[in-house]
Structure 1
């Protein structure tokens, strides 16, 4: 197979999620040029009503008959799910918080959007590390609920641009949103809100920056999922041009990471430059290099086509990964790096070189797939010689 057969238009199968995982890019922050829409729920807004279908606990009747947010009381509306590890890990802390503030006018309301039977099944399970207590007993200290139609989640999570759980919204004494964040970080804000010492205006400014960042990332992700990487690139480049000297280094680095994702999806020269940048960012980390080069191999097997220069870059990087792994890696790791290199040599139409490298991989590890690939290579070489 010649290089010419590998020319391509777009790296569609790489996809937004795959590139993000390779770059280890987390949520963006500080995208100050993005405006929060008028209908976005944010700090200082009136808290939406809670129309929850199923209430499974109410602190032994202490919070029964909820009809709405009452003046001079504070509410923690927390979103969770039975499948969410961090949500479950936060439960003991939420219990402690409710116990501490129950007599200070604070009510915790945890909201899932799963089916009632799903939540009920979860509540029957024993708390991890405690065979004597179920999750139903643990969460009886506060209001645990589920709203299968998802309306409450839509009114809070979606409206505020929050994509991850657990997320807590603190509704203050005036019925307005005072704070939004992870429930494990709400201790100090809650204390100040209860004691009327909370600086809402200051937090609102801080949160607005993060919220704008979340909305920006969501909009870029939407463009990429809609196969519009060029539009995503324009949006990112505009930001970098306008904020390169004023935004903090962490934000710029993450934004550049997002640009790599868009460039990879755009294809052509943009994708080649982006892939080279990815390889450079891996530094002397052989495992990361092997992941990046291995991605090219797996996508090629799936039918993806790559530019000649990108394949050459991947092949050279794979060879470097072998050298780095050989310094202090175990035989299995070295064999894996060698096999990746052999695969890329094969893709680049260097059959004999690929066989020589794959033989080394087989000598170090007895993995069946390594042997089969070597047999395939040797068979092709034999057939090519007639």
Structure 2
């Protein structure tokens, strides 16, 4: 934990005999390091930030659309990074094409193919683009010698694709994120109502919070149950005490994904009714990312056979499933029938027969809506539905 925070803060390592340090002093030292990390965060900032001039375009070959040599002043651009193996990238293409049509004279969307496997030739990339057809109705190019991935993705500290970069009419980066969130951003950028300074501050704050959350997760893992010890529930009281100290020094951590996971898990074991109240707020409180709905229902499933959980907790789990389903950007990539099936089980544990039946019916409907659904899955879902109706 200490080494992790040291890497975040650029603070020199120093030798400490932790065996001689009292627990409270250990926590004090830890929190001091966290405070230092807040002040040193600027030193850890990526080399490419919101508000900076957009890096140049350098591509190996233009595959589709008129080549774009540079960013013209007075025009808005979206640089979208994708790869042929990336299913979320492919799912986002139709949405990007719709945006390209909507902002035809104001925004140019450029798809840059990066991070391809060594066995994927430029010919294979071209064949892929041809096979996609109208679903990829915007400018497309393949990067040159990893320049785009290095100068854009890596330099900005981002990870993974798909990833969209919006370049405003002044040639500066206005936004970086997932293409599913482009609609609201482009509307403001095109109308000159987008606040770059505010977005930059928000992004820096989120990066700082994410780094703290990730690091503190390592500290809290020592209180998690040992799966090799039957009946072990870990040390939830100790976890909650440390979490309270962390949150007291940085209130924004309260519903951060890792901290929230440990908090909800510990409360399930110590006070399920407080867990319910915490979970209800957690589900509607975004921090540096959207709430982790799966963290709620997964925790409940982990302890359903180990703890005597009240009906409210299972209702909460079912609501978490529904909120996740409602916010899935590309349903074709997710096993939605299974999510409804598990939601029905949550409602059944909550003794809500009506909603359990409704959720299982939704599971069956969603399953039948898939092109190649499993007859075995259908039989299992229908059998479970009958059980719910008969009980």
TM-score normalised to structure 2 length: 0.48
Higher RCO (C-alpha under 8 Å, 6+ residues apart): 1
User: Which structure is larger by alpha-carbon Rg, 1 or 2?
Assistant: 1
TM-score normalised to structure 1 length: 0.48
